[in-house]
């Protein structure tokens, strides 16, 4: 009788925690882990799984097949940057997508839910980003650095002069990225090249929370100016390479840095000249075929205070 009572209580807890009865009583009682072996090896945050719900989030890994929701959750637990997972409810080979939210306080947006929703979603309590200002408190030198270097894998270094008077929050973000040698691992890259116009990429980090503020530029963008793409706050960025001031942009982009020297421009021109294509057809955006990864570092080594 005591065991039956305990199982019923655990089953009720599981239903109330995940909303909609994702774990039946008997599964909760045996420590369900997605593969039915009862070894209780589900990853942290497993009880947050919700059947009939599709979570949104920044994609960390695109869809791949898994044998169970538990396998999808474990893949998220083992993947740097992942803290949200979604899996199509197929009994044998459902597609699993790994995603993330930046902050522990962020709740994943529900894209769809209900009996017709073919997804199961979950959240794992790990890999949240820290705010740039919090990181910079650990080093006075980092907080006042006036330059960083973008190392473009396979091409070389691009030196940037930071412009805090143009936009201080964006400069703080770059300084925070440079403070941690691993802040861009597997997530920062160049993906778009337009000869005579721009180089564009992302500075998305799993360690540093993205900039969230925007401000009109101080003037028309000139050759070598660095700003956030799409008139947004990032983390997608671009370097303007036009020969004339960008009158067509106006001052709508948040601008925060400048390419420092001609050697850096030479590196960017080599990136622009790399093999690329326009998947959308003529007169559409041009994407580099092999996306080079990026690292952000200070020009000189800065030790913690």
Length of the chain: 305
Closest residue by Cα to residue 294 from 179, 154, 196, 192 = 154
- Could you tell me if 148 and 209 lie in one domain? yes
- Residue 13 in any domain: the answer is no
Question: Which of these three, 123, 156, 180, is where a domain ends?
Answer: 123
44 found inside a domain: yes
Q: Say if 5 falls within a structural domain.
A: no
Q: Average pLDDT of the chain?
A: 85
One domain, residues 184 and 98:
no
**What's the whole-number mean pLDDT along residues 17-46?**
38
Q: What is the per-residue pLDDT across 68-81, written as a single tens digit (0 to 9) for each? A: 999 999 999 999 99
Same domain, 66 and 175: no
Boundary of a domain, candidates 123, 145, 167: 123
In a domain, residue 147? The reply is yes
Closest by CA position to 204, among listed 171, 241, 237: 237
pLDDT-derived band at 233, boundaries 50, 70, 90: very high
Q: Are 208 and 113 within one domain?
A: no
Q: At which of 123, 149, 179 does a domain end?
A: 123
Please indicate, yes or no, if residue 264 is contained in any of the structural domains: yes
Give me the pLDDT at residue 18, please: 34
Cα 282 to Cα 71: distance, rounded to the nearest angstrom: 42
- Residue 161 and residue 69 share a domain: no
Domain count, the chain: 2
SS3 112: strand
- What's the pLDDT tens digit per position in 244-289? 999 999 999 999 999 999 999 999 999 999 999 999 999 999 999 9
Query: Do residues 220 and 246 make contact, with C-beta atoms less than 8 angstroms apart?
Result: yes
> 59 with 179, same domain?
no
**E strand or H helix at 76, and its extent?**
helix 69-77
Q: Are residues 153 and 116 in the same domain?
A: no
Task: Quote the longest CA-to-CA distance of the chain.
Answer: 82
Same-domain pairing of 145 and 275? yes
Note whether residue 282 is domain-resident.
Answer: yes
What is the separation of C-alpha 118 from the centre of its chain, rounded to a whole number of angstroms?
A: 25
Adjacent-strand bridge partners of 156: 152
**Beta carbons of 254 and 217 less than 8 angstroms apart:** yes
Residue 104 scores a pLDDT above 50: yes
Residue where the block lists tokens 């964006």: 170
pLDDT tens digits, one per residue of 48-57:
789 999 999 9
First to last CA, the chain: 61
Q: Domain range for residue 172?
A: 132-298
Tell me: do 112 and 199 sit in the same domain: no
Residue 251 has what DSSP assignment? Answer: T
> At 91, which CATH number?
3.50.4
Q: Are residues 202 and 85 in the same domain?
A: no
Read off the CATH number of the domain in which 292 is found: 2.40.100.10
- Type and span of the H or E element at 177: helix 168-179
Q: SS3 string of 182-216?
A: CCCCCCCEEEEEECCCEEEEECCCCCECCCCCCCC
Burial class (CB in 10 A: 0-12, 13-18, 19+), 240: buried
Say whether both 164 and 282 belong to one domain.
Answer: yes
| Domain-embedded: residue 258 | yes
pTM value is: 0.79
């Amino acid at each position: 009788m005591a065991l039956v009572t305990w199982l019923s209580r655990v089953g009720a807890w599981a239903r109330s925690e995940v909303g909609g009865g994702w774990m039946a009583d008997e599964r909760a009682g045996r420590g369900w882990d997605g593969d039915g072996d009862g070894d209780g090896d589900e990853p942290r945050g497993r009880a947050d799984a919700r059947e009939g719900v599709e979570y949104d989030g920044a994609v960390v890994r695109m869809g791949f097949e898994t044998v169970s929701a538990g396998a999808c959750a474990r893949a998220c637990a083992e993947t740097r940057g992942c803290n949200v997972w979604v899996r199509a409810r197929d009994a044998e080979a459902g597609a699993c997508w790994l995603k993330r939210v930046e902050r522990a306080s962020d709740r994943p947006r529900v894209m769809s839910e209900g009996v017709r929703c073919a997804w199961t979603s979950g959240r794992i309590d790990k890999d949240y980003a820290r705010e740039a200002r919090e990181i910079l408190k650990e080093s006075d030198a980092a907080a006042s650095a006036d330059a960083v270097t973008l190392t473009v894998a396979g091409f070389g270094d691009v030196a940037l002069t930071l412009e805090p008077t143009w936009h201080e929050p964006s400069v703080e973000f770059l300084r925070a990225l440079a403070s941690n040698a691993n802040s861009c691992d597997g997530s920062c890259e160049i993906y778009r090249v337009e000869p005579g116009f721009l180089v564009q990429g992302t500075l998305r980090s799993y360690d540093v929370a993205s900039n969230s503020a925007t401000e009109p530029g101080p003037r028309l963008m000139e050759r070598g100016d660095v700003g956030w793409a799409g008139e947004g706050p990032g983390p997608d960025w671009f370097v303007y390479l036009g020969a004339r001031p960008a009158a067509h942009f106006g001052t709508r982009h948040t601008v925060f840095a400048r390419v420092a020297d001609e050697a850096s421009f030479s590196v960017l021109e080599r990136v622009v000249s790399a093999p690329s294509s326009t998947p959308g057809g003529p007169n559409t955006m041009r994407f580099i075929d092999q996306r080079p990864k990026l690292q952000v570092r200070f020009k000189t080594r800065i030790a913690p205070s």
